[in-house]
Amino acid sequence: MEKETRPVLAWLGEVITLAAVTAWVGGHAALGAFAARIAFRDLDRGVASTLMSTVFRSFDTLAIGALIALGLATALRAGALGREAWRGLAFVSLATAAALVAVGVLGVSWVHPRIEEMFHAGATLDPRFGALHRLSERLGHLEVLLAMLLFGSLAWRRRHG
């Protein structure tokens, strides 16, 4: 890779990373913290459950696209940074992005489908449903924390080299 091209590719990887994480994690946080809370407060439980199940299933499509973009952007940044990728804040940001991908894949490939299966089976009072729902909430909280660490490490690295 040409030496002059590396900074441009690293920057492009950062832009894609920021856009993907903002859309996915920000959207997921808004749905969980606001839309679901308001739906369950203002609507009949059955209506709210059906509504939010449909919304989250649809949103997972965006999350999958964002996870693919984040994975590719992380690989692009790692390649553009070369040996520097293994040092300091560059490593922190790349490792955090990889952790975000892992958390997201766990959510969309295992946790969310199990919740939806149990919902459609009418097993929402089963303790396993509650445990999966709590796990989904914890993964959402972890997404927000990892996004903040990722954004902070990218900003700090830009500011302080």
Inform me whether the pLDDT recorded for 42 exceeds 90: yes
pLDDT tens for 90-147 read: 999 999 999 999 999 999 999 999 999 999 999 999 999 999 999 999 999 999 999 9
Share of residues in the chain with pLDDT > 70 (%): 99
Token pair 């808004």 in the structure block, residue: 30
Inform me whether the pLDDT recorded for 54 exceeds 90: yes
Share of residues in the chain with pLDDT > 90 (%): 93
Asked if 77 and 13 touch (Cβ cutoff 8 Å), the reply is yes
Indicate the range of 30-34, 69-73, 156-160 predicted with least confidence: 156-160
Asked if 102 and 123 touch (Cβ cutoff 8 Å), the reply is no
Asked if 104 and 146 touch (Cβ cutoff 8 Å), the reply is no
Domain coordinates in residue numbering, the chain: 5-160
Ordered alpha helix ranges (H), the chain: 5-21, 27-30, 36-42, 45-81, 88-106, 112-120, 127-160
Nearest Cα to Cα of residue 98 among 131, 61, 62, 73? 73
pLDDT tens for 11-26 read: 999 999 999 999 999 9
Query: Which pTM was predicted?
Result: 0.93
DSSP string of 109-151, one letter each residue: IIIHHHHHHHHHTT-TTSHHHHHHHHHHHHHHHHHHHHHHHHH
Asked if 16 and 73 touch (Cβ cutoff 8 Å), the reply is yes
